[in-house]
Structure 1
């Protein structure tokens, strides 16, 4: 998608566009009303007197009501406010016409009653005309921005999937898991079949489930458990793990690959020079919120050599995805202490009925 030249958050650009728009509007209606009477100057002056209510009307509709009501799916309230405002400003326009323009500058023109239907409707139509272009422009930009946001989410999700696949099925990771599996088979361990099933589940999840916009929280937890189990095979007694699950994970849905990057990160950075370390994972699912807390050890020299686990690509990616997928519906806290790294993630989860 091409770059959009208009940025509604750029105040100076917005002021310039509005200035050009209103100058164009005044010029247009001055010509429409001035040419038949062959008095362009009078029409130009009258439009300047009556333009302020129109500017205020358009600003309220485009800059306040559309972002706060229409774009937040409060369409009925928006329409009600719109109708009320256009009637109020049409009446205000009638006051200006009768008590300023006709009284001091067009005394030869007969003054109609304030609520005269033909004149009042003319002012309503004029307000509707003047607000149509800004509304259309704002709406088109909003739709383009939403489309761009969807594309960004898809792109971010794809990058997260690829990054996670590279980490999960990195040859070194698979090599260690398969070696452990080989050892179990030689010893005729009952764990061999379970290891094969866990690897199969990881592959199935990565190939099929990630194509879905969201997955069940139960499937996500099962996937994390499989991943953790296989990682523990690699480290065996070197790594102390505490994994706790609280609440009910059924009937809830979540975007995939939001928790895993933090767990991957903990395994990547927890071991010291003696290949010893610890990880604590606690997941709590309530009716509306999912709370994930992950903490892992850090080598003593880790922060002194300039490394910072919070700056990894995986974490930066999931931060961005959270901002896009759960705006105002998540809380992420990251603490990089001297000897530990802590992550707390709180997400408003979707119910199966939504």
Structure 2
């Protein structure tokens, strides 16, 4: 049986049990006054609950969605009071005319009076209040469940995008780096063993260490060191590359692979080959208030990818993960493109 139909049946059963309990309770209350059980007593309890039900369901399915949820508070209160008044009058009218004479009702609940009307009015109000409270609790729980599911979907989406980012980085960067290292090996460069070790550390970080939401800042900075060192292999000697960072790295945690998309794009798209003018400036600094500052600047040409308003999946992934993993007061990201210079300023609260 489909879950939707099953839930609907449970809902109907719940309502049925609620009103059955209410009728039984009112039968007991009326018995305390009349000290006898007869058809008239059950009829009064049934008619009273019909009046209660009219107010409850009109409030739940008409007044709340059409007035209260739309913040029409004055109209909601007006129609609610009118509904309670008419419902209470309905209960008394049915009990007094004609059930009082047909079934021989003789107690004070069968007499139309101001006191009796007030009693039914506040009893009806109590049922409306309780049912409204239960509805709000149910709606709140449903909203919490929906928010949880949306957060889970968003997390899974970000994880999938991060995996896609890793998948794009692995073959592209790996093959380029291996080709460059191979070229150095042919010239028997002394840098080859060191570069192979850096490449190994870099791949280990991408595949294994960056699986968690937060990782050691030390490991992430080491990854950036290795990444920049390997990128420099294929960069022209005329390109000015400045990389600076703090000597003492704080013992803190950070979301992984936040800087790699910006650095990768700087090397990939930010070096158009303009003679003696290509540059990349990358810097890390640390503030005493616990914020890490990442700055990046590089030149580009108007024909480059930046001019097409397409920052790529990597940078979009960074924006979404920052929003998902950090509070709004824990980070700020500013990206500017001006005078053929691409700039990034990321301030991030360390964990």
| TM-score of Structure 1 vs Structure 2, range by shorter chain | 0.5 to 0.7
Q: Distance between the aligned counterparts of 1:232 and 1:96, measured in 2?
A: 77
1:20-76 Cα offsets, whole Å, 9 max, x none, are: x9xxx9xx98xx889922996x667655896699839x968xx99xxxxxxxxxxxx
Q: Distance between the aligned counterparts of 1:283 and 1:207, measured in 2?
A: 24
Q: Distance between the aligned counterparts of 1:149 and 1:223, measured in 2?
A: 26
Report the equivalent of 2:291.
289
1:195-238 Cα offsets, whole Å, 9 max, x none, are: 23212211222232123332111111111111111222222513
Q: Distance between the aligned counterparts of 2:274 and 2:151, measured in 1?
A: 50
| Aligned pairs (5 A) from 1:197-216 | 197-216=197-216
* Aligned pair partner of 1:178 in 173, 177, 182: 182
Report the equivalent of 2:64.
55
**Pairing 1:155–2:160 present:** yes
Report the equivalent of 2:41.
none
For these two proteins, the number of residue pairs brought into alignment is 283
Q: Distance between the aligned counterparts of 1:209 and 1:178, measured in 2?
A: 27
Instruction: Report the TM-score, using the length of structure 2 for normalisation.
Output: 0.64
Q: Distance between the aligned counterparts of 1:182 and 1:212, measured in 2?
A: 39
Q: Distance between the aligned counterparts of 1:321 and 1:103, measured in 2?
A: 56
Report the equivalent of 1:37.
47
| Aligned pairs (5 A) from 1:226-241 | 226-235=226-235, 237-241=237-241
Cα separation, partners in 2 of 1:196 and 1:48, compared to 1, 3 Å: closer
Report the equivalent of 2:343.
342
Report the equivalent of 1:220.
220
1:299-354 Cα offsets, whole Å, 9 max, x none, are: 4x536x9844753332233223333333523322111223211111222221xxxx
Tell me the CA shift for residue 144 of structure 1.
1.6
Cα separation, partners in 2 of 1:243 and 1:309, compared to 1, 3 Å: farther
Cα separation, partners in 2 of 1:37 and 1:335, compared to 1, 3 Å: same
Report the equivalent of 2:242.
242
Tell me whether 197-206 or 288-297 shows the greater mean CA deviation.
197-206
Runs of 5+ consecutive residues of structure 1 not aligned to the other structure: 1-20, 65-91
* Aligned pair partner of 1:129 in 130, 134, 139: 134
1:276-303 Cα offsets, whole Å, 9 max, x none, are: 511001112334322211111124x536
- Work out whether residues 59 and 128 of structure 2, in 8 Å CA contact, stay in contact via their aligned partners in 1: no
Report the equivalent of 1:110.
116
Cα separation, partners in 2 of 1:308 and 1:294, compared to 1, 3 Å: farther
Q: Distance between the aligned counterparts of 1:220 and 1:102, measured in 2?
A: 68
- Work out whether residues 331 and 345 of structure 1, in 8 Å CA contact, stay in contact via their aligned partners in 2: yes
Q: Distance between the aligned counterparts of 2:261 and 2:313, measured in 1?
A: 9
- Work out whether residues 286 and 292 of structure 2, in 8 Å CA contact, stay in contact via their aligned partners in 1: yes
For 2:46, what is the secondary structure of its paired residue?
A: coil
